[in-house]
Amino acid sequence: MNTELNSIKGKKVLVIGDVMLDTYHIGDVKRISPEAPVPVVRVTRTYNVLGGAANVARNLLGLGCSPYVVSLLGNDHNGNTMQEMFADLGIRNELFHTEHPTITKTRVIGNSQQVVRLDFETENECLNEETEQKLLDAVKRALPEVDIVVISDYGKGVCNDTVCQQVISASAGQGKKVIIDPKGTNWEKYRSATIITPNLKELSAVSGVDVRNEDKEIHSAADRILKEYNLTSLLVTRSEKGMSYIAPDASQDIPTEAREVYDVSGAGDTVVATLAAALAAGIPIADAIYLANKAAGIVVGKIGTSPILFKELQDELQIGKPASKLIPIPQLADTIKQLRAQERKIVFTNGCFDILHKGHVCYLEKAKRLGDVLIVGLNSDSSVKRLKGESRPINDENARSTVLAALEAVDYVVIFTEDTPLNLIKTVAPDVLVKGGDYAIENIVGREYAQETVTIPFVDGYSTTKTIGAINQEKQ
């Protein structure tokens, strides 16, 4: 599968649909407002990411593909911001101005929980004939040079009946598959598409009956829809029950990836992007769905609208190879540069992690939830001896780094030889620097190089010193 995965790199994908700007205000909650029974969020960080159809493109970019976006933008500040983001990421596009404001979704997150979402948009936006023709002309110009087409319909006006049907027809004329992430119950506009990816609620809505999350009911409803709209196949996403692929000649049910879900924002975009990349590379449909399912499982474990990255998917497929997470210090700067280009929120923590226990695991899982990528600085053997004494470490740096790398929450491990990780933190310049709850923030080394510094309380009753003490007690 890893050999197959490499084939998706460089594939050209045309994305047509509703683009939007996702804005996040991140902070902590320590009190309730005296003005109303609502939490007061002290904002410590604000950032923007591409959303909607633009997030499909961002996922494709993360997978190593070359996306090309055709859509509409408002002639306003947020529209200008999005154009700059497209340019910074190197995403090719044709974005036409409209008199309506740029669709913007603003989320306020306090203590890692979403408090409220604010939507800025105009309802029932309709394309005028001139703009509609501009969109279609752009699609027809791009079609000859792309490998596959995605229609990302968020119901905001770009994907009307004419646009969808002409894109499907023109794509079929050039032998290009069309994948659609649908919205609403008007599926006549999707007639003759290659594959549509509804969730269970959308499947129920278009079929006109309440479809329960059971294999038999989903397959029955999907079979009717395939015939009614002359579709090649459906891929139904089923939350905790995974996915179901239904086609006239082949069907399969794919169980979900078992992991804790923190945020489902953008998971559908990830599925569509991964599926498109895989099919563009000629990967068989069963393997393409497997990859899409893996990718979705990764992104729901992150906070906020976050794209899948090629390395994340590759690592997920490399079961039993945690060493791929180990980064030598000379390679660290390049890795950080790549993560920054992909707009990843980087969390850094460090420690000896000599005898790994429940307290360590809980601590690292909480640290990972604060961003997209968790980098762990690991004290070398010589560093541990200077800090802990000649009897430590119990496990050498090779053993400790291998065990750390095997943890799902840990993305990278870097071994450093100094007594403190100051130089390492300076190189990483993390968005979030994390230490244990026994540290006062003003005393944490390297905090001047981090955007935010957070302490996480230890789990009571667990420590390496206690574990060693218990072992020694038993020997006596």
Overall residue count recorded for the chain in this entry: 476
Could you tell me the end-to-end alpha-carbon distance of the chain, in angstroms, rounded to an integer? 52
Work out the number of other CB atoms within 10 angstroms of the CB of residue 130: 8
User: Residue 393, preceding bond cis, omega within 30 degrees?
Assistant: yes
Cite the annotated binding site for ATP by residue number. 199-202
Percent helix, strand, coil in the chain, to 5, is: 40, 25, 35
Confidence of residue 464 (pLDDT cuts 50, 70, 90): low
Q: Where are the alpha helices (DSSP H) in 397-447?
A: 397-405, 422-428
Share of the chain above pLDDT 90, in %: 66
Tens digits of per-residue pLDDT, 403-422? 999 898 999 999 999 999 99
Query: How far are the Cα atoms of 16, 110, 445 from residue 69, in angstroms, in the given order?
Result: 6, 33, 44
Binding residues: 199-202
Q: What are phi and psi of 55, to 5 degrees?
A: -70, -30
pLDDT above 70 as % of the chain: 91
Residue range 318-346, pLDDT digits in tens:
643 444 688 888 888 888 887 887 778 99
Q: What is the pLDDT of residue 249?
A: 84
pLDDT at 161 over 80: yes
pLDDT value, residue 262: 45
The stretch 341-360 carries a mean pLDDT of: 88
Question: Is the pLDDT at 1 greater than 60, yes or no?
Answer: no
Please state the rounded mean pLDDT for residues 19-31.
94
The band of 465, judged by pLDDT with boundaries at 50, 70 and 90, is low
Q: Which amino acid is at 270?
A: T
Is residue 399 within 8 A of residue 365, CB to CB? The reply is no
pLDDT for 471 beyond 70: no
> How many angstroms separate the CA atoms of 235 and 48, rounded?
30
Kindly indicate the confidence band of residue 286, based on its pLDDT and cuts at 50, 70 and 90. Answer: confident
Is the full-model pTM beyond 0.85?
no
Are 52 and 20 in contact by the 8 Å Cβ rule? The answer is yes
- What domains can be seen in the chain, in order of their start residue? 1-20+49-104+122-320 (3.40.1190.20), 327-472 (3.40.50.620)
- Tell whether the model's pLDDT for residue 33 goes beyond 80: yes
Dihedral of alpha carbons 338, 340, 344, 345, sign: positive
- Average pLDDT along the chain: 89
- Cβ atoms of 465 and 352 within 8 Å: the answer is no
Distance CA 209, CA 36 (A): 41
What are the catalytic residues? 269
Adjacent-strand bridge partners of 22: 49, 105
pLDDT at 260 over 50: no
Q: Which of 304, 273, 306 is nearest to 291 (CA)?
A: 273
